[in-house]
Amino acid sequence: MRRSRAETDTNHAKLSRRAALLGGVQLLFMGGLAARMNYLQVDQADQYLLLAEENRINIRLIPPSRGEIFDRNGVKLAQNSPSYRIVMVREDAGDVDDVMQRLAKVINLDAEARDRAIAEVKAAERFLPVTVADNVTWDDLSRVSVNAPALPGVSPEVGLTRVYPRGSDFAHIVGRVGRVSQADLDEQETPDAVLRIPRFQIGRINVEAREEALLRGVAGTKQVEVNATGRVMRELSRREGQSGADLQLTVDSNLQNYVQARLGDESAAVVIIDCEHGDLVANASSPSYDPNLFIGGISSADYNPMLESKYRPLVNKTVQGTYPPGSTYKMVVAMAALEEGIVGPDDTVYCPGHLEVGGRRFHCWKRAGHGWVDLENSLKQSCDVYYYELALKVGIEKISAMARQLGLGVRHDLPLSSVAAGLAPTKEWKKETRGADWVIGDTVNASIGQGFTLASPLQLAVMTARIATNRMVTPRLIKSIDGIEQPSGGGEPMGINENNLRKIRQGMHVVVNDRRGTGYRSRIIAEDMRMAGKTGTSQVRNITTAERARGVSRNEDLPWERRDHALFVAFAPSDKPRYAISVLVEHGGGGSTAAAPIARDVMLQALYGGEPPLDAYPTSDRDRISAQQEQLREVQPQATIKGKDQA
């Protein structure tokens, strides 16, 4: 059916209006789109260019160079040495296990190290270089380079590694570094980002650990361009970090080396302190160990013998070990009595060889007794009964107060691990820790440095320095930081009556220089270097009544672990003290036979600044000392002459 013309015109008009409307909408859409594109591409061009650049550029950390450690004369004790290492990138390696098997055929890589490296590579980001072998030789590096086509993803690098050139001499002072563990990160609320760098090393013990904040430094940064997978294409810029601070210690490397050699295989400790500044010029614990073994991860074959040894080479006996101080504690009791006015230097006590207290017999080391003794003779002959009597009059509270004033029972602030406080016991301490009342026998035991009383070799050296100077000498181990001198440990006056101290010093002088003194065989005969000291022997077992009846067993007849500890403390020269020393020989027997000879030899080495002349020794000792010096020269390959081997 044909539509009328009017109907056709009406339909055409409707279509035209719809087309116009649709065209208008399209035009409006295109106009809006053009305006938006203009806004994004022109008005906001700079902002989106910056966002694009930020997505393309990564910022990465550059590990800082660790601060180095020196002795008082500038000899390096811990340094950073260039080292070769092999790294692997998982993204380029493909089959990590296969490539690692091939690498193990090219360089010496044992199964344990290979498995550890495989685990680290697989755990890391696929584009991140992971060290798979540290401290490789130049030959290893060359072999890896030659075999590069067969080792995809493997490449050699040059880095820095920590080295301890003095080996075992300073293991218990400088300490060592080790790799950052997850436990280290978990311990910190906001860990330093540099700690997340694979195989980054931090201090583990002693100065390396306690001064970590100074030694670590501040990481640098570099901008690198990466591709879509995150792989580095090129380095765009670099900002170097800040190296860690260099530390200069108070110790003398030559003296420390001599002390370690002189101790030999003994389980022992020696502390030498400078009386003027409090500087620890030697702080030796024996036996020691080589900290270099720990740098790349120590093997079980090296570690287990040290861990299981009864001589405890991993323990720093100078500050961690606490021992009954034995008769070296008698100066504390005497000072407390003198200061309280309870006894005068000329007052005498009769020693029949024992003292009955509370129904119990306390023996003197000399079974027949010493007869009538005054202060000087009580120290010279180390009479126990004299100090039993004094302690009962003075009381434990005043004795322990004097001990703390002299540096015992106090934790000294040093950058060493696990510095012990020792123990100067009181009635309250026993009540709180043992749940028991203090009894009179406890005071008697404490009077000769037994019972609950404990002290470290460091504390005994501090005690001796304070007696020698009447100042609050404080041990110092850090001499300077980046060349800035640190506060002296010389200390303020103690406020103790100088006349009383003079009597104690005189008693210590005759211990070593009088023929009847317990330390006479270890005297120094050089007139201007005479030594004043005190021997000590501390029991580690109870002597029963039955054993006393049949005769006390000699130390040499007992198993090593049941023998007495040997101690000796001294200062020299006795008229103008320069150094104070303490020596402990674990289970060494008598202080006069085991500890005093070591102290005399070490003290002379310190006073002369090197090997002393033979005429400083008694004539009867010179042949033996000459042979000993010759032997020690052979086992001191690291000793250096001051002024040489400087940083």
Question: What sign does the dihedral 404-407-410-413 (CA atoms) show?
Answer: positive
The set of long-range contacts for 12-17, using a CB threshold of 8 Å and a minimum separation of 24, is none
φ/ψ of 71, rounded to 5, equals -85, -175
Contact 390, 332 (CB under 8 A): no
The pair of structure tokens assigned to 292 is: 């270099």
Question: By the 8 A CB rule, do 211 and 78 touch?
Answer: no
Cβ–Cβ under 8 Å, residues 594 and 555 = no
Alpha carbons 72 and 67: distance in angstroms, whole number: 16
Cα–Cα distance, 343 to 331 (Å, whole number): 13
CA-wise closest residue to 338 among 507, 567, 511: 507
C-alpha span between 94 and 261 (Å, rounded): 52
Cα–chain center distance at 65: 21
CA atoms 26, 27, 32, 35: torsion sign: positive
- Pairwise CA distance, residues 423 & 256, whole Å: 28
Name the CA radius of gyration of the chain, rounded: 37
Give dist(CA 493, CA 633) in Å, integer: 41
Q: Which residue type does 4 have? A: S
CA 537/CA 645 separation, integer angstroms? 40
Catalytic residue among 327, 400, 456, 522: 327
Terminal C-alpha separation, the chain? 115
Active site residue 327: yes
Long-range contacts of 47-50 (CB under 8 A, 24+ apart): none
CA distance 164 to 201: 14
DSSP state for residue 381 in the 8-state scheme: T
Contact 424, 400 (CB under 8 A): yes
Q: Catalytic residue numbers?
A: 327
